[in-house]
Amino acid sequence: MAQSGEPNCAASREPSLLSVNASTQDNLERLGWDTFFSAQAADHPGLIPARVSRPDLNRYHLLSATGPLVGLLPGRARSAGQSKADLPTVGDWVLVSPIEEGQEDADAVPTVLIEVTLNRKSKFSRKEAGERYDEQVVAANIDTVFLVTGLDDNFNVKRIERYLLLAWTSGASPVIVLSKVDLCENLPPRLDKVEKIAMKTPIHVVSATNGQGMEGLREYVTRGKTVALLGSSGVGKSTITNYAATKSKSVSASQISAGKTAEGREKPPSNSFSKTCRLEQSSR
Ligand SMILES: Nc1nc2c(ncn2[C@@H]2O[C@H](COP(=O)(O)OP(=O)(O)OP(=O)(O)O)[C@@H](O)[C@H]2O)c(=O)[nH]1
Ligand SMILES: [Mg+2]
């Protein structure tokens, strides 16, 4: 779940993608732009910052201060990338340059060239087995990660411990979200077990069905902050995201679904994550 206001797309597309004013600066900050990234961008004057909302096969859907863009990665960047970890992923900030040719349709989303991927604040990775182990980053620049576990049959303290480790390694701040409390008949012993392993990580007990505890999640969904949800399939990540989006009209989704292996074991972030991971702009 990523907080972002909707950049004034249509209004600010003119006269140029490069024009920077108070409004575009505000739009960038709503998308998560801060001094960590602007300091890096200072080395590349003339390039335009944009955030990856969705990687596609050969192109990247980007959000910029002036609206959505479609980013192409030059072949040289792909071949220069030593590892898949170097390629832009959802949540990354990139610097782009406009492509002037072949854009006759004024209403079409502008196509740009991705020139630079900025260093990340945080990242969720998986190791890919191949000829050698290669790191693949499935989500970048996440501020807060909701570790979602159901209080129904999904409940598993060991899994929450694994999620915590993953979050601490990522650089994002974890928040334990125990969902579906409306389906839990005996909360205290389960809560007690989680408190013992939480190491002061905030714990929220919620039900997206009846709204219990949901307000408490709003404090993390603030201007310019990016929130991701990590949890096994069916624990309520989409429901929580939709609930928050409906209530605040200021959130969008970045969902990381941890799947199950054929044997029923929890899978670490996998390739499919990057496909389901979305960082979308939405209106405030
Ligand atoms: N009783 C109850 N049901 C819930 C709650 N939250 C979600 N659900 C239901 O649980 C089911 C799965 O919810 P989703 O939000 O789709 O789960 P998800 O984590 O996004 O699942 P994936 O997208 O497959 O990873 C849906 O039928 C929801 O209506 C809750 O708090 N209480
Ligand atoms: Mg979902």
**Does the domain at residues 2-122 carry the CATH identifier 2.40.50.140?**
yes
Residue nearest to ligand 1 atom 12, measured at CA: 234
Indicate if the alpha-carbon torsion angle 45, 51, 56, 57 is positive or negative.
positive
As a CATH number, domain 138-276 is 3.40.50.300
- Residue 208 Cα: closest atom of ligand 1: 31
Is 234 a pocket residue for ligand 1 (Cβ < 6 Å)? yes
β partners of residue 226: 2
β partners of residue 49: 95
Residue nearest to ligand 1 atom 15, measured at CA: 236
The closest of 91, 47, 95 to 71, measured between CA atoms, is 95
Q: Which of 238, 246, 273 to mutate to test the pocket of ligand 1 (most atoms within 8 A of CB)?
A: 238
Ranges of CATH 3.40.50.300 domains, the chain: 138-276
For residue range 204-233, list pLDDT tens digits in order: 999 999 999 999 998 898 889 999 999 999
The region, left, alpha or beta by phi > 0 then psi within -120 to 50, assigned to residue 171 is: left
Confidence of residue 104 (pLDDT cuts 50, 70, 90): low
**Confidence (pLDDT) at 265:** 41
Give the span between the Cα atoms of 217 and 279, in whole angstroms: 18
Is 114 a pocket residue for ligand 1 (Cβ < 6 Å)? no
Alpha helices (H) along the chain: 9-12, 22-30, 35-41, 75-80, 157-170, 187-197, 237-248, 271-276
**Confidence (pLDDT) at 172:** 96
For residue range 19-32, list pLDDT tens digits in order: 557 788 889 999 99
Whole-model pTM over 0.85:
no
Per DSSP bridges, beta strands 255-258 and 144-150 are unpaired
Tokens of 246: 């409906």
* Mean pLDDT of the region 4-18: 38
| Among the bound ligands, the one closest to the CA of 177 | 1
Is 182 a pocket residue for ligand 1 (Cβ < 6 Å)? yes
In this predicted structure, the answer to whether residue 4 has a pLDDT above a threshold of 60 is no
CA of 236 to the centre of ligand 2 (A): 7
Ranges of CATH 2.40.50.140 domains, the chain: 2-122
